Structure 1
């Protein structure tokens, strides 16, 4: 009989290393050769942070990102859409805290066409009045929908409570109803002129492509994007915390049978001293799986929720630790008390060696699968570019996982697990007094 094989520990995994080139117009190029990934993913990262928007026109960056492909100096929006569909090219854009990302996904034979159309949208948008109005109405509808959904309503109330009113982070990234309604076609053109340009931008290309071929394609297309365009080098602003952030806000939804819980505190940025490694592990231990501490109690033992999640969200300046999910309305106060007990208990009592090993194994050993495709590699590189970091950041924190121990995780969790800002969205008449009775902070009810 053959002896039973003994599994070995997998070898350490590293994020793919890019080849970097400089384009003549001031942008930099990062090429990630990924064999077998025949759909090439391209991202253009334009670091024009949301804090660069005029205060009375917040949302203009979002509308710019949504309308740059809705007509150019060479073709109408319908012609652009038809050409993209005919060539099987996917083109999209979005505005984030750090700036605007435009993306193109295309097979190798159609990559040149995709890059040409992307360059055209970046350099020659006309911001047709009809299309601007259409996207403006759509954004206003998005705002109404966000207020109607408990999860997004809770997130909006949380940022408004957590951050000082002057902070850009206290308001929706896509702008509010008043500021979006005030935006004109000329506002889009002015923002594009002033902030959307190649200087300071990063181009990421990932897929099964030769580095020299990718460089030549990008230099011929995006490299012609005029250097006379606006600079994308605006520095992000700080986001100060409100003086009364550590409190409980109950958003009243009469008759609601569930309560959305959304709580958080200030957390680390990606540049935190000691490295990022502890934070994905902490998120997994507390709210990253059905066996995490939160779900083990509130879902598996009590049956109060379908599931709650914990996460660390780094920002360009600082960051946040967040826990969210919905519970049965009739156990709102008890659920909140139990949830805060889990979070406080982890800071006071720490974690076992078995828990730490499970978290390290999950975060580290699933990384190769999480970053297996070209689009995910390109997305990760784009997000890190906003923060001035390369994808070696991922390799470094995965390596740092190997040295984590219970003492380190308890220390790092205790450093952030306090001064909670708590938002509840549910039936305040049925639960607000019970929440007050917990004695866990001032409770404010809003409609």
Structure 2
């Protein structure tokens, strides 16, 4: 019998993010285009540096209501007519406002890009915000607030930001506003917010797909070139968020007889400009809790059977950021799960193995071609980078840097994170630096949580 030699498996070729072409319009729009052959559904993304912190304090949520009603009728089309036109042209549309800014998403078949951009222009510049539609969205948001408070994951997130950030910091309050502020929102408030903030200056338009045969500059210029420029503006995310002086503690949101406990645990993290480079931090997140094979799930899920899964990740802002871990555990395992979770997250101070480093680096770097294989993923990344004050050249540069990440860099990056966040390093009390929120039965778990010695414990009502 003749032996057949095994084929040699060669390493994959080095991959780069699709190259961008940039064009600035006179009214302050930056157009960034990506030719992605074979992607015949064109993805258009707009990023406006209008963060939720631009909302008046007493009308928080007005940006969310505005985003949800921009397509509910324009000067030339009723809401029903506009919906029919979007459907007939094969256009998918959405809008949302977040901490980073206002984003609009539009996907359309290649042959209808021109009409789609014209409808986008009308939505941006000619919305009429009917009283009835604004009132409907206000009611929907109020119902949504009740729902958010009923879902343990959402309830934990709301309590976490209220505990982690300083009271005056916009991030300490719900993105879509509270019941008190949303109930005050009127059509006039929405119109005023749109008039002041939805302008062309500083807006990035990212367009990705098969652009062969399209004069994209002319199409975008014809549609959006007449959009009012408005005043130049700087991102409010250029400053570090103010953190609560007493954030280093544990808050239990009491939910009597709960059969699970929702856990959210976090600490200040770096931004993409961090000394030593951003590349090591996604790897640390992956190793600690970023996959089913990570340290957290290896113990809490596979060994103990306490959870279906808990995830960790670094979430950068323009300045500063957050390291966040969240998931749910069986109620009867709550104290032990909390103890183990803190121990596992702080185990980074003892270093990472070569196998862990290689697994994290390979996963993040070698899955990049798949993550960015479609036009919508390319356009999304472009807008995310734009709202962070960057271009997608950073995406490629970071992938190159990721290839150079080794144990020494990872260990150094964890020490930088732990030192900056106040997270326990050798000689520090366990649990130092973490903000933790638990949604569960306080009467059952409080005493045992206090005995762990991880910080002061406060109980609040559900």
| The two structures share one fold, judged by TM-score above 0.5 | yes
Contact residue 201 and residue 232 of structure 1 kept, 8 A: no
1:432 is matched with 446
Q: How does 1:188-227 map to 2 (within 5 A)?
A: 188-210=190-212, 213-227=215-229
1:24 is matched with 26
Contact residue 199 and residue 233 of structure 1 kept, 8 A: no
Q: How does 1:366-381 map to 2 (within 5 A)?
A: 366-381=367-382
CA-to-partner distance for each residue in 1:234-258, whole Å, 9 max, x for gaps?
5346421100001000000001000
CA-to-partner distance for each residue in 1:375-407, whole Å, 9 max, x for gaps?
011111111111110011111111111111112
TM-score scaled by structure 1? Answer: 0.97
SS at match of 1:224: coil
Deviation, 1:276, is 1.3
Contact residue 194 and residue 230 of structure 1 kept, 8 A: no
1:62 is matched with 64
Following the alignment from structure 2 to structure 1, what is the Cα–Cα distance between the partners of residues 146 and 380?
Answer: 29
1:415 is matched with 416
2:181 is matched with 179
Following the alignment from structure 2 to structure 1, what is the Cα–Cα distance between the partners of residues 288 and 346?
Answer: 11
Deviation, 1:415, is 2.8
1:279 is matched with 281
Following the alignment from structure 1 to structure 2, what is the Cα–Cα distance between the partners of residues 401 and 387?
Answer: 20
Aligned counterpart for 1:72 among listed residues 58, 74, 78: 74
SS at match of 2:345: helix
2:354 is matched with 353
Which deviates the most, 328-337 or 233-242? 233-242
Following the alignment from structure 1 to structure 2, what is the Cα–Cα distance between the partners of residues 172 and 340?
Answer: 27
Contact residue 49 and residue 387 of structure 2 kept, 8 A: yes
Following the alignment from structure 1 to structure 2, what is the Cα–Cα distance between the partners of residues 174 and 273?
Answer: 34
Contact residue 266 and residue 434 of structure 2 kept, 8 A: yes
Contact residue 193 and residue 230 of structure 1 kept, 8 A: no
Q: How does 1:46-57 map to 2 (within 5 A)?
A: 46-57=48-59
1:442 maps onto 2:456 in alignment: yes
Following the alignment from structure 1 to structure 2, what is the Cα–Cα distance between the partners of residues 396 and 80?
Answer: 42
Contact residue 276 and residue 413 of structure 2 kept, 8 A: no
Contact residue 55 and residue 62 of structure 2 kept, 8 A: yes
Number of residue-to-residue matches in the alignment: 445
SS at match of 1:182: coil
2:244 is matched with 242
CA-to-partner distance for each residue in 1:96-144, whole Å, 9 max, x for gaps?
1121111210001111111110000100111110000011111111111
Following the alignment from structure 1 to structure 2, what is the Cα–Cα distance between the partners of residues 131 and 109?
Answer: 31
The two structures, once aligned, show a CA RMSD in angstroms of 1.3
Following the alignment from structure 2 to structure 1, what is the Cα–Cα distance between the partners of residues 223 and 90?
Answer: 19
Deviation, 1:290, is 1.6
TM-score scaled by structure 2? Answer: 0.94
Following the alignment from structure 1 to structure 2, what is the Cα–Cα distance between the partners of residues 122 and 169?
Answer: 26
